[in-house]
Amino acid sequence: MKRIGALAIVAILIAASGCGREAAGPRKLRLAVIPKALDIPVFNYAKIGAERAAAELGHVEIIWRGPERADELRQKEIVESFITQRVDGIAISVLNADFLTSTIDRAIAAGIPVVTWDSDAPKSKRLAFYGVDDYKTGQIMGEEAARLLGGQGQIALITSLGAANLQRRLEGVRSALATHSGLRIVETYDIKEDPVRCAEIIAAGTNRYPNLGAWISVGGWPVFTRNALAAVDPSRTKVISFDTIPPAPEILKAGKAQVLLGQKYFGWGAEPVKLLADIIAGRPPQNPIIDSGVDVVTADNVDAYLEQWARLERGAK
């Protein structure tokens, strides 16, 4: 989105919302925060972050709602319901960017600012995005696989088709692997955002490719539960996966995974809430794409990461 277009939309949104504050202070804002699905554990921390930010701001009410499980039609219905309710703002992790773009644009047209987090809808008129640079993080995963395998071996990929963030990560992985002639992608599995299927897919892939050198998962499904990697022999097959929420660090410490990429899970909720509050107050972000950064966690730094995680859980900086 061009900068002038973003500013024009913000001006319209401010006018639609009443263009000001009451004499007694800022009015109470009702902000809808929508995860991809309620059964994906990483989003529990986004909810905590959103609630903390709302408490800090003091004039914000968080409405946390998402599909029970990954369902793009249900997510669209939820956004549409918030448009009808005329909430003051919407922050959403988008399941399917192409499918939801027109609905996001309809919210903007109705005077409701929309920001995305974790998973973007870049072709929509959303006003900002907060999350990792997915292409670069995919490249990191590919290079870590090359390092672990010495540049030689077969690799299987795990993703969930439809989400823009996961597609960009896949593109980054493939671009990095393509620079190593000894590495070959043997198959890409679509897990459909279902952690329950993960163990079955990994077991089937391990059986099909007995010489598999590595699994690369652009989402955290292999480390959301303790048994998803049961079929993997770490002496032969390495695991590079997104996400560092418990029990992932313990799985890494046990040697079942070798590299984890952590995101700013609490920030997923906190930063979009602050962004919306600022936009409504007439303070749009200078840059609508906000790179949260990523944590690369290995056996060498996992203990330090766990100490940092404990501070975040307590609400400390």
- What's the confidence (pLDDT) of residue 4? 46
Tell the residue number behind the tokens 């903007």, with chain if given.
108
The per-residue pLDDT for 11 is: 53
Residue 281's contacts (CB-CB under 8 Å, 6 or more residues apart) are: 21, 26
Overall size of the chain counted in residues: 317
Q: What was the pLDDT predicted at 315?
A: 83
Q: Which two tokens stand for residue 200?
A: 């079955």
DSSP 184: E
Rg (CA), the chain: 20
Backbone angles phi, psi at 264, to 5 degrees: -90, 75
Q: Distance between CA 215 and CA 205 in Å, rounded? A: 9
Q: How far apart are CA 108 and CA 229, in angstroms?
A: 43
Closest by CA position to 275, among listed 286, 263, 262: 286
Give the separation between CA 214 and CA 223, rounded to whole angstroms: 15
Contact between residue 17 and residue 88 where contact means Cβ atoms under 8 Å apart: yes
For residues 271 and 290, is the Cβ–Cβ distance under 8 A? yes
Contact (CB, 8 A) for 211 and 154:
yes
The pLDDT of residue 309 is 93
What span, in angstroms and rounded, lies between the C-alpha atoms of 6 and 108? 11
Query: Which phi and psi angles does 148 have, rounded to 5°?
Result: -65, -30
As a whole number of angstroms, the distance between CA 253 and CA 237 comes to 16
As a whole number of angstroms, the distance between CA 300 and CA 316 comes to 24
Residue with tokens 């032969």: 236
pLDDT in tens, the chain (317 residues): 444 455 555 555 555 555 444 445 678 999 999 999 999 999 999 999 999 999 999 999 999 999 999 999 999 999 999 999 999 999 999 999 999 999 999 999 999 999 999 999 999 999 999 999 999 999 999 999 999 999 999 999 999 998 889 999 999 999 999 999 999 999 999 998 888 889 999 999 999 999 999 999 999 999 999 999 999 999 999 999 999 999 999 999 999 999 999 999 999 999 999 999 999 999 999 999 999 999 999 999 999 999 999 999 888 65
Residue 21's pLDDT is what? 44
Alpha carbons 246 and 212: distance in angstroms, whole number: 26
> How, if at all, do strands 238-242 and 259-262 pair?
parallel
Q: What is the pTM of this model?
A: 0.86
- Rounded Cα gap, residues 290 and 267, in angstroms: 11
Confidence (pLDDT) at 163 = 87
Task: Tell me which DSSP letter residue 220 carries.
Answer: S
CB atoms within 10 A of CB 301: 12
